[in-house]
Amino acid sequence: MADFNTIDDFDVENKTVLLRIDINSPVDPNGGFILDDTRMKLHSPTIKELSEKGAKVVILTHQSRPGKNDFISLKEHAKVLSKNLNIDVLYIDSIFSNEAINKIKNLNSGEILLLENVRFFSEESLNGSVDKQSKTLLIRKLSPYIDIFINDAFATAHRSQPSLVGFTKVLPSGAGRLMEKELTVVENSFKNVERPCVYVLGGMKADDSIEVIENVLKNESADYILTTGIVANIFLLGAGVDIGKVNKDFIKERGYYNLVEKARYLLKTYKKNIIYPKDLAIEDNGKRVDVSIDKIPNKYIFDIGVETIKEYAKFIRNAKTIFANGPAGVFENSEFAIGTEDILNTIANSQGFSIIGGGHIAAATNAMGYDMHMNHISSGGGACITLLGGKKLAAVEALKNAKK
């Protein structure tokens, strides 16, 4: 039995249900068109179920953040969502204006209303306690017209913002189907891990990945960590490898140079468990060149090398559980997509239970056609890696407290 409520715990017929989802999507900078509707597809089962059960569904979500080119209204999202659901999704360009409140009050059973980008409301950008967020204008304005709050936004569950945690203090609250699935799959795999368990960690968010490495090795829930991307470069530095000034400077620019000492400590403590590349790929005259780690020129590292790919494939093929987060290199460039593609191909063809983190690694998995061969692709990289790092998700804790 879950320690938070789900849709099963409520009779939603003729009830006004506020549904928080995360359909933050890539947008064409010129035309404002949605380029990828993956997240809308992931939330569709929750929306459809509520609608089919006769709920009056009010959707709250966000797109990007202030100052970015894709910080736009949700008018286009409503159109794409309508196509995905095969149901007409109503849209209003406000969040809690009198017009929006009247729309909510006049909804019929089964109807779906999408409110405007919640981040247009400045208080939404503030993090704070559940008690503090429950007193914000958003919650005070909307909650009198809502019967039940359902949070399905796993991808944003690590944030403690008004729309994610505030309603749990004042309304009966539960998790949507996507949130429920994410927590069940990730937490069960983490707690009941089948061995050997291999983590493949790369990408650009080195601080999160190194926190995960420390957590899973300390808890003895992982057998091997295969490092790629900037994570690998930090461990190479920790192992005393000269990766070249440009790569050192890049790590410093990202604010990660302080992690080299942590990497050195982890290598000393878990020498047999942490595997770093034996060769890497650089660019020379526009072409990929693989070099041994003892002969790295002062050029940017863009991928792991072929010998490393072969070595990593052996670990993955023997694994019973595989967690992968972050691409191995600059996969957007075909010359340097080899590491990411070969790792995903090996995971897809392995016998192990595979979990792919969200963000760029999920995008690469979908783009390269391996999505149907993975056991679980997370909708949220930040939330997923927060869980694996042994931290609690603010929005999930709020749901647990709401049940209590």
pLDDT in tens, 95-149: 999 999 999 999 999 999 999 999 999 999 988 999 999 999 999 999 999 999 9
- Residue 240 in marked binding region: no
Q: Does residue 360 carry a pLDDT above 90? A: no
Query: What percent of the chain shows pLDDT beyond 70?
Result: 100
Q: Does residue 60 carry a pLDDT above 70? A: yes
Would you state the structure tokens that stand for residue 376, as one six-digit string? 């679980």
- Residue 303 in marked binding region: no
The residue count of the chain comes to 404
- Residue 119 in marked binding region: yes
Would you state the structure tokens that stand for residue 394, as one six-digit string? 């603010």
Out of 173-177, 185-189, 289-293, 312-316, which region has the weakest mean confidence (pLDDT)? 185-189
Q: What are phi and psi of 336, to 5 degrees?
A: -115, 20
The mean pLDDT of 358-387, rounded to a whole number, is 89
Residue 240 Rama label (left phi>0; alpha psi -120 to 50; beta): left
Q: With contact defined as beta carbons under 8 Å apart, do 193 and 216 qualify?
A: no
Average pLDDT over the chain, rounded to an integer: 95
- Residue 282 in marked binding region: no
- Residue 177 in marked binding region: no
User: How many CB atoms neighbour CB 338 within 10 A?
Assistant: 20
3-state DSSP assignment of residue 228: coil
pLDDT in tens, 182-220: 999 988 877 788 999 999 999 888 999 999 999 999 989
Q: Does residue 167 carry a pLDDT above 90? A: yes
Q: Does residue 396 carry a pLDDT above 90? A: yes
- Residue 140 in marked binding region: no
Residue 32 and residue 30: Cα distance in Å, rounded? 6
3-state DSSP assignment of residue 355: strand
- Residue 288 in marked binding region: no
- Residue 361 in marked binding region: yes
- Residue 359 in marked binding region: yes
- Residue 39 in marked binding region: yes
Ordered by where they begin, the domains of the chain are 7-182+394-403 (3.40.50.1260), 195-351 (3.40.50.1260)
Confidence at residue 392, expressed as pLDDT on a 0 to 100 scale: 93
Confidence at residue 126, expressed as pLDDT on a 0 to 100 scale: 87
Q: Does residue 150 carry a pLDDT above 90? A: yes
Q: Is the peptide bond before 297 cis (omega within 30 degrees of 0)?
A: no
* Confidence class for position 391, pLDDT limits 50, 70, 90: confident
* Confidence class for position 181, pLDDT limits 50, 70, 90: very high
Q: With contact defined as beta carbons under 8 Å apart, do 336 and 329 qualify?
A: yes
Which contiguous run of DSSP H or E holds residue 208? helix 206-218
pLDDT in tens, 25-34: 989 888 888 9
- Residue 11 in marked binding region: no
- Residue 92 in marked binding region: no
- Residue 158 in marked binding region: no
Out of 130-139, 307-316, 326-335, which region has the weakest mean confidence (pLDDT)? 326-335
